[in-house]
């Protein structure tokens, strides 16, 4: 059974704990090793002090015992023998203590020889009074009974032993230093790796959540939203999926409403437009100038309203499509020429010119939709440009893409309008030249049609006016 954290906070705390465990183990091991080294150093220091003291006592006592032994052999005084025995006890005690220290075999052999010499000397002292009568002026010690000469090198041997012990402690210290260094080199990267892994887990959960939100914001409502991660992130994903379903329902309601209203308006508008045309043609009799003016206004506004209704119908139909119904090779330069003819009278009336730079480039697409794309972009360029200015239109090929540029010399597009430019029914703050006001569906329809063709439209920065660029995949001729 896999562990699933309940929240981002729990995942963060878990990551912190797991990252801290190697460091805590490293600190604990460091403390143990340092404490052990400290105890070893402390014991070595105590042993060294004791060894130096024992060596000094043995050397001094050996000399004193030789003197006492000679005095006893000369004088035969029991008090001197008692003094020797007291010195002998201290001497043997220090030899035993020094013998217990591990170390120099030379020192151990010397101590053993010293013990054996002293034993022979003591045996000689015990037997001397029984075999000799009165003072002995010619008393002396044999070589195997002498102590002072044999004990003289012991302090030097002890110094050598202490030096060797000091080197051992230094070696242990260096080994511990290397061990702690390797421990740090291993544990710190492990802790960092654990921290990076949990940071990635947390960040990936948040990135998936962000992608789901951007997907909703971009209008991608097709598939369900499933966000993996901690429980709170999964719950947010479920709420986003609920929101997606609500948006789909609202979209369907809006589409149905637009379809219904557009069709309900289209029939009476057609009747009004036809009646206005019949009146204008004088079917009911010749009209007075004032009547003809009213009929003209009625006809013009009915045409404008019908165009807006047609835009609603086209937008509604474009939303319901998920792929192109018709595809054929089309030369976009020809479609630009057709669009210019539709706006010829408007251009002349406003003394505007069009600069063309057209290359013959073919794309696969729906002629009606691509014609609408060009019409809307050209219509906007003319509508938002002052009189006596120029509109530039170019078509060229760039690698495997067709590039259509439409530039005007108008007032440009306000920065606050750029974010909403391609949203349905949005109308910016830029003033239009002319009394007609659009529905705000033109650029939305452009983007939708281009999405169906695998293309895109964008607004580029330009010093003056507006610069729209369209990209479409090129039709590769076999």
pLDDT value at position 163? 82
In tens, the pLDDT along 410-462 reads 888 877 777 777 777 666 655 555 544 556 677 888 888 888 888 898 888 88
Please say whether the beta carbons of 335 and 370 come within 8 A. Answer: yes
In terms of CATH architecture, what is 8-190? Up-down Bundle (1.20)
For residue 221, the SS3 value is coil
Tell the CATH topology of 323-473: Heat Shock Protein 90 (3.30.565)
pLDDT value at position 1? 45
Q: Specify the CATH number for 231-317; select among 3.40.50, 1.20.5, 1.25.60, 1.10.287.
A: 1.10.287
Instruction: Output the six-digit token pair for 225.
Output: 């939203």
pLDDT value at position 311? 63
Q: How are strands ordered across the β-sheet holding 467-473?
A: 353-358, 390-398, 401-407, 467-473, 456-460
Q: Beta 362-365 vs 456-460: how paired, if at all?
A: unpaired
Strand runs (DSSP E) across 287-382, as ranges? Answer: 328-331, 353-358, 362-365
Q: Which residues contact 64 (CB under 8 A, 6 or more apart)?
A: 87
Whether pTM > 0.75 for this model: the answer is: no
In tens, the pLDDT along 53-78 reads 888 888 888 888 888 888 888 888 88
Determine whether 370 is exposed, middle or buried from the number of CB atoms within 10 Å of its CB (0-12, 13-18, 19+). buried
Burial 237-267, CB ≥16 within 10 A → b, else e: beebbeebeeeeeeeeeeeeebbeebeebbe
pLDDT value at position 346? 84
User: Which residues of the chain are under the pLDDT cut of 70?
Assistant: 1-6, 102-103, 129-139, 218-219, 255, 258-266, 269, 273, 278, 280, 282, 285, 287-288, 295, 300, 303-322, 425-440, 476-478
User: How open is the CA angle 286-289-293, to the nearest 5 degrees?
Assistant: 105
Kindly list the domain boundaries of the chain, sorted by start residue: 8-190, 231-317, 323-473
pLDDT value at position 471? 92
């Amino acid at each position: 059974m896999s562990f699933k954290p309940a929240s981002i906070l729990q995942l963060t705390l878990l990551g912190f704990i797991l990252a801290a465990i190697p460091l805590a183990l490293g600190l604990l091991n460091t403390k143990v090793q340092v404490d052990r080294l400290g105890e070893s150093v402390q014991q070595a220091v105590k042993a060294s002090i004791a060894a130096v003291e024992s060596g000094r006592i043995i050397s001094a006592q050996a000399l004193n015992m030789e003197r006492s032994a000679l005095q006893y052999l000369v004088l035969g005084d029991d008090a001197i023998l008692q003094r020797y025995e007291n010195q002998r006890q201290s001497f043997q005690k220090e030899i035993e203590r020094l013998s217990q220290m591990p170390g120099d075999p030379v020192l151990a052999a010397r101590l053993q020889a010293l013990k054996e010499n002293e034993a022979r000397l003591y045996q000689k002292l015990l037997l001397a009074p029984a075999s000799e009568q009165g003072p002995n002026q010619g008393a002396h010690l044999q070589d195997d009974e002498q102590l002072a000469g044999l004990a003289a090198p012991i302090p030097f041997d002890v110094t050598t032993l202490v030096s060797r012990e000091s080197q051992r402690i230094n070696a242990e210290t260096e080994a511990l230093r290397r061990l702690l260094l390797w421990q740090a080199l291993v544990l710190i990267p492990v802790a960092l790796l654990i921290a990076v892994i949990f940071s990635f887990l947390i960040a990936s959960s948040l990135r998936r959540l962000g992608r789901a939100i951007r997907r909703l914001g971009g209008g991608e409502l097709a598939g369900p939203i499933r966000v993996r991660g901690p429980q709170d992130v999964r719950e947010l994903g479920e709420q986003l999926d609920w929101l997606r379903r609500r948006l789909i329902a609202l979209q369907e309601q809006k589409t149905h409403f637009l379809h219904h209203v557009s069709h309900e308006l289209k029939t009476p508008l057609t009747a009004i437009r036809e009646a206005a045309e019949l009146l204008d043609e004088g079917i009911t009799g010749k009209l007075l100038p004032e009547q003809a003016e009213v009929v003209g206004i009625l006809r013009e506004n009915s045409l404008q309203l019908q165009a807006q209704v047609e835009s609603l119908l086209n937008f509604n139909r474009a939303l319901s499509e998920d792929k192109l119904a018709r595809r054929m090779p089309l030369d976009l330069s020809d479609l630009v020429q057709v669009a210019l003819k539709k706006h010829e009278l408007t251009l002349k009336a406003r003394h505007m010119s069009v600069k063309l730079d057209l290359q013959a480039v073919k794309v696969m697409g729906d002629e009606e939709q691509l014609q609408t794309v060009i019409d809307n972009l050209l219509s906007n360029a003319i509508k938002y440009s002052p009189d006596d200015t120029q509109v530039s239109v170019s078509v060229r090929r760039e690698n495997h893409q067709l590039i259509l540029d439409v530039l005007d010399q108008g007032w440009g597009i306000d920065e606050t309008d750029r974010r909403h430019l391609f949203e349905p029914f949005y109308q910016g703050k830029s003033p239009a030249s002319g009394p007609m006001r659009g529905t705000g569906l033109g650029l939305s329809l452009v983007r939708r049609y281009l999405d169906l063709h695998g293309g895109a439209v964008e607004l580029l920065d330009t010093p003056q006016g507006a610069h729209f660029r369209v990209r479409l995949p090129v039709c590769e001729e076999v």
